[in-house]
Amino acid sequence: MATLARTKKKDFLTIGALQEEELNDLLQEAAALKKAHKEGKETPYLKGKVLGMIFEKSSTRTRVSFEAGMLQLGGHALFLSSRDIQLGRGETIHDTAKVLSRYVDCLMIRTFAHETIESFARHADVPVINGLTDLHHPTQVLADLLTIQEYKGQLAGLKICYLGDGNNNMCHSLLEGAAKAGMHMSVAAPEGYLPNAGILAGAQKEAAKKGVCIEMGQNPEEMIRNADVVITDVWASMGQEDETKKRLEDLQDYQVNESLCKLAKKDFLFLHCLPAHRGEEVTEAVIDGPHSAVFDEAENRLHAHKAILKKLLENVE
């Protein structure tokens, strides 16, 4: 995980900042923690540790999985809405980060601008975890990779197809994750919805090192062909509600439906980070069908987050 120069503490801000071995270690740790959980063999690795969770965006899975995960590891989690702390009344990120670092052992933040979490990481003296920003969603993608690995037995060499809004935090983190894991990835998105150019270029460079490719295209039929994994996300994310009508019109040809999925491999896996808008980005037949693993994927948020917390905090005094 990216280490800040002025301290020995580590943060989890993007998948791209991880070394390949760090990503593999996290996936192995998550799988081991999940196995222990299923067997009722929880270990209080983080006894006495406290996680502070700052939410500027609402959440179901992120809040519950981090809070439950911290408790299962023997620690405690504090929910901090931006409306309830001084950050929401104008206190600087610098001051908030410095003060909270005296109270908690780790901070998880779910916010809008990616610059916000980068600022927290610069000023906090404890590890900072990106629970979601408008640019990246690394904790979700770690759970996605864990799910794919469970179902397919591997990551390297598989093909992921993402359809819809490519300029999206899920698509960005998937690009980084696929490249890091040696997976091919295709993105089907119309003009005006292409991924961030810098993130795409970085992922393509990483993919080339692994001998895999990242493809961009506007034709969903071409991009989904022979895909092992099909992924989409809502077309209007939080903060984009005013654009909903236009987005529905622009992206209607990128709906994941039964007809389109016939072009993927016969044993394709469907993933969605949820919440889903059935009938918009995906049909009920697909998300509730035999290829869907969305609830296993949601469950894996718990174990992926536990792995991140354990790796960041286990050896911190």
Binding-site residues from annotation for L-ornithine: 169, 233, 237-238
Binding-site residues from annotation for carbamoyl phosphate: 59-62, 86, 110, 137-140, 273-274, 301
Whether the ω angle into residue 190 lies within 30 degrees of 0, i.e. cis, is no
Question: Tokens representing 295?
Answer: 């609830």
Please answer whether residues 181 and 159 qualify as being in contact, where contact means their C-beta atoms are separated by less than 8 angstroms.
no
Identify the DSSP state of 117.
H
User: How far apart, in Å, do the first and last CA atoms of the chain sit?
Assistant: 18
Question: Tokens representing 136?
Answer: 């990246």
pLDDT of 244-276, one tens digit each?
Answer: 899 999 999 999 999 999 999 999 999 999 999
In the structure, what pLDDT confidence band is assigned to residue 237 with cuts at 50, 70 and 90?
confident
Q: Return the active site residues.
A: 110, 137, 140, 233, 273, 301
Q: What is the pTM of this model?
A: 0.95
pLDDT for 6 equals 38
pLDDT for 1 equals 54
| Structural domains in the chain plus CATH codes | 20-137+301-314 (3.40.50.1370), 140-297 (3.40.50.1370)
Query: How far apart are the C-alpha atoms of 260 and 280, rounded to whole Å?
Result: 14
Identify the DSSP state of 74.
T
In the structure, what pLDDT confidence band is assigned to residue 317 with cuts at 50, 70 and 90?
low
**Residue 8, pLDDT above cutoff 80:** no
Lowest-confidence segment of 6-15, 181-190, 296-305 by average pLDDT: 6-15
Question: Tokens representing 171?
Answer: 């698509």
